[in-house]
Amino acid sequence: MGLFGEQAARSGYRLLVRSIGTADARIIPSLRRLRPTTDSELAGLLYRAPSELLSGLNQEAGAKLRDILRETGVEVDLVPASEDYEPGTGDYEVAVVIQRFDRMLSIIEATMGILGADVATAKRLVCASPAVVIGRVSAATVDALRRRFQPLGVELDVSRTRDAVFDIAADTQDETTAAALAGLLTAANAPRVESGTGQFMATGLDAAAAERLWSEVSRTAAKVRVLNRDFLRFDVRLERAPRSKEMADYLVEVTGMKAATAERALGRTPFVLAENVPGARMVELLNGVGARGGAASGILLALRAFGLSLKPGGDRQAARVWVDSIGGREAAAVFDRASTSELPGPFTKTQARWLQHELRNHGIASQLVER
C-alpha cells in the first residue's frame, strides 16, 4: 500500500503539529518537500498550531516523518485519522519587553529565526516601542515563544486582537491638517482628547473601528500611530514626596534600594521610580505614592523619545561601531565630533538603554534625556 493510498486516506494516520516548539521559520523550506504549497500556508500551519500537516499516512511512514520533524524542534504527533482535534486560530499578537540589554544580540538572533527576517528588520522590531514582533498566532505559539524568550530576560505582552482596546494618536503642527483631523474624529463619533500642540487621540476603539479610522486619518499629513492598550508600557516618575519613613520604606519595597539610599533619594526628586511597567502596575504605583503623601506621573513610552547626555572619557573609537549599529549613521556622525557631549536621537527607550549599555562597556558614562 502506498504512502497516500486510498485505504490509508480512509483509515490511516495524520501528522498533527501541536506547537512550533523550538523550531522556527527556517524549517519551512524542508516542509515544502512534504506538502507542496506556499510558504505562507506552511507558516500558518506552524504558527497557528494545532494543525494538520499531512493526512492519509500509513503508520510506519508516518512514524518516520514524525521522528524527523521532532528532531527539528517541532512538536508533532502521529494520530489515527479518526482522532478529533481542535485547530488553532491566529487570535494573538505578541510584543517583546526587554529587561536585559546585555542579551540584545541573542534576542535579535531569536527574532530573526522566528520570523525568517534579516538583521535590520529584527533589530527594528525589537527596538520599537511597543516591540510587536509577530501577529496572527495561536495560544500554542505564544507558549512556545515565552519559553524561548524567557532565558534571554524577555517578557512577552500578549494581546487577543478581537478583544483589545485601541487608541489612535495623530500629531501635526499644520493647521489645515489639524482641522481635517478634528473633522474626521467628529465624523467617526470617536471619544477623543486634543491638546493645543496639534496632538489628537481617538480613544477606546475596538479593532474594527480602529482600522476604519486609521484608514481615514492616515491619508492626512499627520504622523499617525495605532496603539493597542495591551502593549502599552510606562515609566513611573516620582515627582515629589515627603521625606518620611513611610515613603522611604515604600521606595525600598518598590525598587529594592537600601534604606539609606531611599532616604537620600527623597531629597532628589524628581526621578524615575520604575521603568517599562504595564498599565496596571503603573496605576498601582501612582496610587501607592499618592497614599503616602507624594505625587507621581506615568510616562507612556510609545509616545516618548530619548537622547543620551555623554560624560567625558572612555574609548570612543571602539564604541563608534555600536553607535552606528544602534543609533544609525546620523547618530554616528554626531558621535564623531570631538566636542560631542550629547546624542540627541531621537531614540526609543530600548534603543537608548541598549546604546547606554554598550557605551558603558567602553568606559563611556551617559544619562538618559527625555525628548
Q: Is residue 85 part of a domain?
A: no
Q: Is residue 1 part of a domain?
A: no
In this prediction, residue 168 carries a pLDDT of 87
User: Which pLDDT band, with edges at 50, 70 and 90, does 1 fall under?
Assistant: very low
Together in a domain, 175 and 122: no
Q: Is residue 86 part of a domain?
A: no
Task: Convert the pLDDT of each residue in 118-169 to its tens digit.
Answer: 999 999 999 999 999 999 999 999 999 999 999 999 999 999 999 999 998 8
Domain boundary among 300, 317, 351: 300
In this prediction, residue 221 carries a pLDDT of 81
Task: Convert the pLDDT of each residue in 21-37 to its tens digit.
Answer: 999 999 999 999 899 99
Together in a domain, 24 and 57: yes
- Domain of 320, CATH number, reads 3.30.1390
For cell 532628589, name the residue.
268
pLDDT more than 90, % of the chain:
78
What lies within 8 Å, CB to CB, of 39 at 6+ separation is 28, 32
- Contact between 324 and 356 (Cβ < 8 Å): no
For residue 89, give the C-alpha cell: 486560530
Its domain, for residue 144, covers 92-163
Together in a domain, 147 and 172: no
For cell 524577555, name the residue.
154
Cα within 13 Å of Cα(15), Cβ side: 27
- Contact between 165 and 177 (Cβ < 8 Å): no
Q: Is residue 87 part of a domain?
A: no
Q: Is residue 321 part of a domain?
A: yes
Domain boundary among 117, 148, 163: 163
Assess whether pLDDT exceeds 80 at residue 190: no
What lies within 8 Å, CB to CB, of 350 at 6+ separation is 98, 126, 127, 128, 129, 131
Together in a domain, 120 and 176: no
- Domain of 154, CATH number, reads 3.30.1390.10
Assess whether pLDDT exceeds 90 at residue 359: yes
Assess whether pLDDT exceeds 90 at residue 218: no
**pLDDT: which is higher, 196 or 149:** 149
In this prediction, residue 223 carries a pLDDT of 84
Domain boundary among 281, 300, 319: 300
Together in a domain, 310 and 278: no
Together in a domain, 225 and 237: no
Together in a domain, 213 and 194: yes
Assess whether pLDDT exceeds 50 at residue 9: no
Query: Positive or negative, the Cα torsion across 85, 89, 91, 93?
Result: positive
Cα within 13 Å of Cα(368), Cβ side: 19
Cα within 13 Å of Cα(334), Cβ side: 16
| Number of domains making up the chain | 5
Together in a domain, 136 and 106: yes
**pLDDT: which is higher, 371 or 272:** 272
Average pLDDT of the chain, as a whole number: 91
In this prediction, residue 216 carries a pLDDT of 84
